[in-house]
């Protein structure tokens, strides 16, 4: 009997990181918390490994990397050459028919659930090890052939040069990476961005930070624009605002996404109102309590829905932040000097 390798998000939780990767496991966990998460399915790490095994590609790539010798760790050019070679091998190696049929069936079932043939979806990487920005995400993917192509390209992105370099630096095998893939329904985004339940530069745990822009969130996470910034007191919910002039956004084209000019009347307007900000903070603090650690979360506001349903969550992970100072520097030095003189 063939081992199961495609899962509905509702079947998953944080205990399944090794099975489907962090992103998919956390999306599943978020559904259990009653959060509004786009519906979809996860292709497991086993699916990627099955593709590599059944096509013989895994052995070919491993042999190629072994031929590069230990110098690959020191040579950026060697890593770039390895990236091109491995991705070329993958490009010329299609999915086995049975695997392709399995992905198509799940995509078509998702479309049928919403009564929308060729419904647009996001196809996102989901590594078992946190590697932000190392692998690819594709938005507004429409139709079964395109979904198959983008899943294949997400798998190929495990051999991006920066991903190979990351694995070598961490002492991981350079020739493979355990990766899952999330295929989730696209949201009709009014605005999008990130929220951190800690101030990352100072480690301030009393405030949450929200950054956002009109349209899809890629303009925020890519650093292409200066986003709106909202700092929220986690106890009183008081909001400190810094609204930027936002001249560019990422929008859906119907067959993909594109960067475009923000309409003039929206450029200086905040991308979130107070009610939306408070709802983002409310949910993010619940997730922080659930996981027992500050969170870094991606959100989208669906223009077709009303609060609270309009707030849609597409990722949650542990936040990276500076260690908080217990005392102001001057007070800390004074206290240390006093302690020394008492000894």
Q: Distance between CA 73 and CA 49 in Å, rounded?
A: 24
Per-residue pLDDT, averaged over 60-66, amounts to: 95
pLDDT at 161 over 60: yes
- Look at residue 1 and tell me whether its pLDDT is greater than 70: no
Is the pLDDT at 166 greater than 70? The verdict is: yes
The larger pLDDT score, comparing residue 342 to residue 34, is at: 34
**Closest by CA position to 109, among listed 65, 155, 133, 144:** 144
| 257 contacts 122 by C-beta, under 8 angstroms | no
3-state secondary structure of 215: strand
3-state secondary structure 249-314: EEEECCCCEEEEECCHHHCCCCCCCHHHHHHHHHHHHHHHHHHCCCEEEEEEEECCCCCCCCEEEE
Q: Is the pLDDT of residue 125 over 70?
A: yes
Quick one: angle between helices 57-68 and 76-91, nearest 10?
Answer: 160
Whole-number pLDDT of residue 254: 76
| Domains observed in the chain | 6-185 (3.30.1490.20), 189-318 (3.30.470.20)
- The residue with tokens 């309590």 is 289
Closest of 291, 340, 296 to residue 317, by C-alpha:
296
- Give the closest residue to 288 by CA, choosing from 197, 203, 193, 202: 197
Phi and psi at residue 262, in whole multiples of 5°? -70, 135
pLDDT digits (tens, 9 = 90+) for 233-243: 999 999 999 99
- Six token digits for residue 290: 């659930």
| Full-model pTM | 0.85
Cβ atoms < 10 Å from Cβ of 272: 23
pLDDT (0 to 100) of residue 177: 86
């Amino acid at each position: 009997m063939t081992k199961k390798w495609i899962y509905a998000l509702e079947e998953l939780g944080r205990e399944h990181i090794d099975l489907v990767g962090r992103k998919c496991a956390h999306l599943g966990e978020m559904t259990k918390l009653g959060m509004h998460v786009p519906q979809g399915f996860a292709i497991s790490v086993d699916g990627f490994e099955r593709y590599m095994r059944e096509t013989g590609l895994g052995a070919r790539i491993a042999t190629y990397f072994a031929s590069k010798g230990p110098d690959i760790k020191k040579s950026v050019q060697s890593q770039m050459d390895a990236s091109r070679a491995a991705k070329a091998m993958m490009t010329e190696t299609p999915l086995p028919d049975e695997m392709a049929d399995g992905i198509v069936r799940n995509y078509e079932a998702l479309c049928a659930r919403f009564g929308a043939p060729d419904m647009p979806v996001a196809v996102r990487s989901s590594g078992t090890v946190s590697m932000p920005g190392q692998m690819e995400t594709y938005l507004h993917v429409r139709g079964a052939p395109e979904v198959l192509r983008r899943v294949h390209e997400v798998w190929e992105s495990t051999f991006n040069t920066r991903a190979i370099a990351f694995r070598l630096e961490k002492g991981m095998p350079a020739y493979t990476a355990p990766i899952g893939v999330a295929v989730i329904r696209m949201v009709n985004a009014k605005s999008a961005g990130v929220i951190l339940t800690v101030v990352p530069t100072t480690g301030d745990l009393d405030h949450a930070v929200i950054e956002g822009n009109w349209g899809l969130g890629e303009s925020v996470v890519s650093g292409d624009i200066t986003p709106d910034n909202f700092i929220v007191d986690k106890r009183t919910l008081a909001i400190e605002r810094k609204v930027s002039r936002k001249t560019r956004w990422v929008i859906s084209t119907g067959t993909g996404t594109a960067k475009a000019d923000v309409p003039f009347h929206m450029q200086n307007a905040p991308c979130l109102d107070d009610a939306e900000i408070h709802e983002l903070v409310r949910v993010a603090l619940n997730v922080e309590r659930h996981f027992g650690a500050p969170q870094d979360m991606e959100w989208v506001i669906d223009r077709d829905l009303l609060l609270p349903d309009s707030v849609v969550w597409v990722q949650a992970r542990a936040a990276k932040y500076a260690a908080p100072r217990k005392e102001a520097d001057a007070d800390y030095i004074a206290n240390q000097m006093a302690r020394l003189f008492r000894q």
